[in-house]
A = this chain, B = another copy of it.
Amino acid sequence: MTVTIKDVAKKAGVSPSTVSRVLSNHPRISLETSRKVKIIMEEMGYTPNMMAKSLVSKTTNSICIILPKPAEELFSNLFFMELIRGIVTQASRSGYDVLISSGANEKEELEAVSRLLKGRRVDGAILLYSRKDDAVIEFLETGGYPFVLIGRSDRYENILSVDNDNVMAAYDATNHLITMGHERIGFVSGPSELIVSRDRLEGYRKAMESNGLEMRPEWIVEGEFLQDSGYRAMSFFMNLPNRPTALVAVDDMVSFGVLRGLTELKYKVPEDLAIVSFNNIPLSQLSSPPISSIDIGIYHLGYTASQVLIQSIKNPNNHDGYTNRFVIPHRLIIRESSMYSASKK
């Protein structure tokens, strides 16, 4: 029922090839025919069939976002929404469609990626986060598929990636607290298999060390990027005999959990515990008190990732050599949760 290139051709009294060439602005088509055909296309309401196009061109003009394993949980983090927004916006501007994919477990995830890339449903992929060891990266890398990683991998050196300098960011966050006079500073980390967790932990360590501050093992707890982890970490910290006066949390959601707990126990923020965390999701400024956060430019991260990916799809062998890794700048946003000068005892 739908009108095809042949229908247009017939009505215009030309061959299908000509219509196709009109469509792609082939130089060797006379202005006259071009105009005529275009009018007929308009009249008949012709829309190119993407499937047929893709079949022959071996390209789909779409990319996919691979969400990490426990997508359900992670989805609840506004972080991903921002990222997706950046990706979709840029991709849309470049004429690409965006497909969202996730699997219940790593095996399913790999299957999905394989189906999408090998099955030529998409031209490339954007990976969010990265574990130390990632089967999906392995697959994409050995398959030679275009992809970019949001985050970084320490196994593969030459893959395209867009990331923050998380070590430096954590250094800055910690240093800010130190500047405010804090000496006993705790750290709530994310899953240790995530590189971002380890990078931020390292930045915290560096800042503590270079300021000659003591680092107690019990001041570092590992959790998830979720509220609950913050809640638990909070109750752990507050029961410590020599508890921290400030803490750095790996994600704003964690801070919210901490905040909730402290409020329940009638503690004051930042007087009883100062907080700085990461990502600066829109809600950070809405909590009470608003929490200080490292703005890592999430939207920008997504936008750039999409740009880099599409660029690499269009120009696969443009391996500049220099620029495989794109670093998005971060910025410390100081809010009430850390605006209290601890008195040095």
Contact = CB atoms under 8 A, between A and B. Distances in A.
B119 A50 contact: yes
Contact of A101 (B78, B97, B120): B97
A331 interface: no
Interface string A60-100: 10100000000110011010111011001100100001111
Contact of A47 (B54, B100, B118): B118
Contact of A80 (B81, B98, B121): B81
Contacts of A283: 78, 256, 283, 286-287
Nearest to A81: B81
A318 interface: no
Contacts of A71: 85, 88-89
Contacts of A72: 85, 89
Given A101-B97, A287-B287, A51 B60 contact: yes
B76 A81 contact: yes
A100 B84 contact: yes
Contacts of A121: 50-51, 62, 97
A49 B56 CA distance: 12
Contact of A50 (B2, B45, B120): B120
Nearest to A227: B286
Contacts of A92: 101-103, 112
A47 B286 contact: no
A329 interface: no
B119 A48 contact: yes
What is the predominant secondary structure among interface residues of chain A facing chain B?
helix
A52 B103 CA distance: 24
A150 interface: no
Contacts of A282: 76
Contacts of A112: 92
Contacts of A85: 71-72, 75-76
Contact of A287 (B80, B82, B114, B288): B288
Interface in A208-222: none
A92 B100 CA distance: 10
Nearest to A117: B47
A260 interface: yes
A120 B76 contact: no
Nearest to A59: B51
Contacts of A78: 78, 81, 283
A86 B130 CA distance: 24
Closest 7 CB pairs of A and B: A47-B118, A75-B85, A51-B54, A81-B81, A50-B119, A51-B55, A50-B121
Interface of A: 2, 45, 47-52, 54-55, 60, 62, 71-72, 75-76, 78, 80-82, 84-85, 88-89, 92, 97-103, 112, 114-116, 118-121, 227, 256, 259-260, 263, 282-283, 285-288
Given A62-B121, A256-B283, 10 more contacts: A45-B118, A50-B119, A50-B120, A52-B55, A71-B88, A71-B89, A75-B84, A76-B81, A92-B112, A97-B101
